[in-house]
């Protein structure tokens, strides 16, 4: 017989198999999910969840699809959090720290409590990447925040009202567009294609009988 645990979904008690995730446990209990369920694989941030184990004072945060249930787990999902997302034009946004001052000035009100980092469902050093953003060190902010799934738990715990995932998103786009080195071979290839350098080759492939294409495919060189 499979082992069972007791969990509390929004305070209500259910018995569920111990090997389920919080998400599949909710479904086992009978919830047909609409909100709070996206990729089911830890990439989309739809299923941010807050929980506490009975007898433990500490409030923990996780992704419901990535966390196994525990006995006496009190669970509340956080399917939406009102993050602040400022609009900007990526073509003119610039790369100086003034960008952050203009769009997300609240990051300078960070009191250093580290609640964001402690609550991060991906285990990221959130307070550190905000510090990088404050200093206009967008490359470091981008690297430190790269694995963010934008679930919003950090912001829900922040006394300064910072929308950490959106700050990081801006830093990554600035880094990707302006600060990362340009790619010469890519620019060359786009130009060659526009100049028609491959038109004849492709045209020939379009016309070739399938048997000839099979020969080509089955005997092609494969780069080591």
Partner 1 sequence: MYSEQFRDSLAAVEAARAQNIALDPARMTAEEKERLLAAYHPDYKTEEFSVLTVGPNAGDRVPHELCELLQAHSRITEQSVDLTTPAYDVDVLVIGGGGAGASAAIEAHAAGANVMIVTKLRIGDANTMMAEGGIQAADKPNDSPAIHFVDAFGGGHFAAKRELLSKLVCDAPEAIQWLSSLGVEFDKDADGNMITTHGGGTSRKRMHAAKDYSGAEIMRTLRDEVLNRRIPVVDFTAAIELILDDSGKAAGAVLMNMETKELLVAKAKTVILATGGAGRMHYQGFPTSNHYGATADGLVLGYRAGAKLLYAETLQYHPTGAAFPDQIFGALVTEKVRSLGAKLVNKRGEVFMHPLETRDVTAASIIRECADRDGGLSTGNGEAVWLDTPMIEQIGGEGTIEARIPAMMRMFEKYGIDIRKEPILVYPTLHYQNGGLDITPDGMTPNVENLFVAGEAVGGIHGKNRLMGNSLLDIIVFGRSAGQHAAACAKHTTVGALTLSHVTAFEQTLEQAGIQTDAVSPKLLPNYTKQPAF
Tokens coding 156: 């829900």
Q: Does the protein bind partner 1 through residue 105 (CB under 8 A)? A: no
**Could you tell me the smallest distance in angstroms from the CB atom of residue 114 to partner 1?**
21
**Could you tell me the smallest distance in angstroms from the CB atom of residue 33 to partner 1?**
8
Burial class (CB in 10 A: 0-12, 13-18, 19+), 124: buried
**Could you tell me the smallest distance in angstroms from the CB atom of residue 39 to partner 1?**
4
Tokens coding 80: 């939406």
From the list 4, 6, 28, 95, which residue makes contact with partner 1 (rule: CB under 8 A)? 28
**DSSP secondary structure, 186-206, as one string:** HHHHHHHHHTTTTHHHHHHHH
Specify the DSSP element, H or E, that contains 176: none
From the list 76, 98, 109, 213, which residue makes contact with partner 1 (rule: CB under 8 A)? 213
- Number of chain positions touching partner 1 (CB under 8 A): 71
From the list 39, 53, 98, 113, which residue makes contact with partner 1 (rule: CB under 8 A)? 39
Q: Does the protein bind partner 1 through residue 30 (CB under 8 A)? A: yes
Q: Which residues have CB under 8 Å from 75's CB, separation 6+? A: 7, 8, 9, 10, 22, 49, 50, 51, 64
Q: Does the protein bind partner 1 through residue 40 (CB under 8 A)? A: yes
Q: Does the protein bind partner 1 through residue 114 (CB under 8 A)? A: no
Q: Does the protein bind partner 1 through residue 175 (CB under 8 A)? A: yes
């Amino acid at each position: 017989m499979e082992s069972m645990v007791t969990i509390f979904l929004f305070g209500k008690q259910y018995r569920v198999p111990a090997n389920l995730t919080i998400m599949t446990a909710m479904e086992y209990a009978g919830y047909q999910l609409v909100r709070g369920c996206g990729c089911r694989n830890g990439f989309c941030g739809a299923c941010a969840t807050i929980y506490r184990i009975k007898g433990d004072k500490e409030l923990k945060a996780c992704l419901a699809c990535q966390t196994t249930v525990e006995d006496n787990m009190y669970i509340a999902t956080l399917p939406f959090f009102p993050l602040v997302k400022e609009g900007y034009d990526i073509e003119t946004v610039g790369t100086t720290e003034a960008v952050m001052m203009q769009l997300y000035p609240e990051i300078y009100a960070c009191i250093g409590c580290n609640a964001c980092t402690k609550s991060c469902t991906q285990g990221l050093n959130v307070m550190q990447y905000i510090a990088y953003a404050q200093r206009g060190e967008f490359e470091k902010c981008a690297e430190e925040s790269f694995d963010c799934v934008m679930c919003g738990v950090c912001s829900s715990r922040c006394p300064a009202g910072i929308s950490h995932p959106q700050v990081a998103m801006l830093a990554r786009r600035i880094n990707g567009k302006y600060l990362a080195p340009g790619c010469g071979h890519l620019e060359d290839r786009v130009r060659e294609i526009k100049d028609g350098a491959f038109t004849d080759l492709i045209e020939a492939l379009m016309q070739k009988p399938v048997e000839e294409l099979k020969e080509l495919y089955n005997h092609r060189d494969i780069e080591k």
